[in-house]
Structure 1
Amino acid sequence: MCGAIGRVIDNPFVKALMDLLNIKFQTETDYNIRPNARIPIAIGKQGKPVGVEASWWLFQTMTENGFSYDKRYRSFNTRKEKLFTNRKYEFAHQRCVIPASFFYEWNGKRFKIEPTDSAIAFGGIYRMWPVKNESKHYSCSIITLPAHRKFIHIHDNSFPLMLLPEEITPWLDDGFHDINYWQDTLKTKIRFDLKVTPVDKKNPIFAVGKSQIIYAD
């Protein structure tokens, strides 16, 4: 389960990805983004990526202060199998990309996981929630796949979907609705080399052990 991510906006790989995704509004470096945070994502509109701000928790509920996360559902992640059942509409029509520099996983210890030479384009789905002034409130969820054998010692439950650069354009094509096209993309595999570093549980900026490289399949 991907339960925390980080985004370093002065990283050249992140800058390039956000430019590609047409995310032009101001964002800040954040080393510990948790579920229900407001984050930049890209959605598809008329075949082009558009940057919007979204709540990282798919199911929302209206409160007296506006929309907030629906505590009944842990919907900041969406398991692969749900894409073909009760998330089928979103998977066919409302895919998104969530840019990040790294993510964290826990298995007793906390680990920071990051590409060796790129940014991360998480594959996700999103929803739109109408508000009174006719604007939209967006929410999103990162797609997770079954665990990878090389990461069992780090996290034995799931592995987030990270898109390759050539997959971003079709993923964000809002006119392309064939969900079976993505069968190969949704296979659990390491698609580029990842650096794994043990970090402090309370302050993830600080490394507490030696990094290792887990090479792509």
Structure 2
Amino acid sequence: MCGRFALFSDPPRISRRLGLSEVKAPWQARYNIPPGTWIPAALRRDDDSPLVLDEVWWGYKPHWANEDAPEPINATVEKVATSNYFKGAFAHHRCLIPADAWFEWVAVDGQKQPHFLCREDREPIWLAAIWAERADGAPGCAILTEPARGVAKAIHPRMPLVLDDESLEPWLDPDMTDRETLRQAIHHLSAEHITHWPVSSRVNRVVNDDPALIEPLSGH
């Protein structure tokens, strides 16, 4: 799954990668981003709108959903294209969540040990996501997850869908709506580029948000 991530790369660095001229919602460095908060995303509000970096709510609940409908933070790659709750957004409202890393937890001696997972070269990563307009008119998103690969499998059975650089434009292409066409065009970042290390359990509390959270534990 993906339930916590970090984004400390600055807006110009992120916007340059996508060739964006507009950042509607600049952000400050965050080292412990939880669900149920506003996060940056690259998206188009409609097919004719330019691509922008804007804020989305991390929690997916379309405006047409019943009051008691769920508000998931993740959507699985196995079901996102076929589930009635997600398939409209998968076809027409895809977005990218920029991140520097994500956190996951592994059981060690009866305790949950957090790990920091990122690219080996420390370049930002791009998490595939979908969004829908919420009842208040703002966009809300869910980050896609897939079975864990490479070293990430030792930490958790699932991981966010991290796209490779060549997949960013197709993922954001509003004309690409067919599931099979997308499947052929979209590729995840090779597992060999992912590394991880254990970090302080301070990350378990969302009130903690500082650079020390991503430092390796002593001895690692």
TM-score bracket relative to the smaller structure: 0.7 to 0.9
Residue identity opposite 1:80 in structure 2: V
Q: What is the RMSD computed on CA atoms of the aligned residues? A: 2.9
Residue identity opposite 1:165 in structure 2: D
Q: Please say if 1:152 is aligned against 2:150.
A: no
Mark the runs of 5 or more structure 2 residues left unpaired by the alignment: 108-112, 204-212
Higher helix share: 2
Q: Is the 8 A contact 1:148 1:188 kept in 2?
A: no
Q: Is the 8 A contact 2:11 2:23 kept in 1?
A: no
Q: Give SS of 1:202's match.
A: helix
The alpha-carbon deviation at position 183 of structure 1 amounts to 2.3
The alpha-carbon deviation at position 167 of structure 1 amounts to 1.4
Length, aligned pairs only: 199
Match runs of 1:54-203 below 5 Å: 54-59=56-61, 73=70, 75-86=72-83, 87-108=86-107, 109-117=113-121, 118-131=123-136, 136-156=137-157, 158-184=158-184, 190-191=190-191, 193-203=193-203
Q: Give SS of 1:167's match.
A: helix
The alpha-carbon deviation at position 171 of structure 1 amounts to 1.0
Identity %: 27
The alpha-carbon deviation at position 160 of structure 1 amounts to 1.0
> Aligned partners of 2:51, 2:201: CA distance in 1, in Å?
35
Aligned residue number for residue 209 of structure 2? none
Mark the runs of 5 or more structure 1 residues left unpaired by the alignment: 62-69, 212-217
TM-score by length of 2: 0.77
Aligned residue number for residue 39 of structure 2? 39
> Aligned partners of 2:68, 2:201: CA distance in 1, in Å?
24
TM-score by length of 1: 0.78
Q: Give SS of 1:82's match.
A: coil
The alpha-carbon deviation at position 152 of structure 1 amounts to 2.4
Q: Is the 8 A contact 1:23 1:41 kept in 2?
A: no
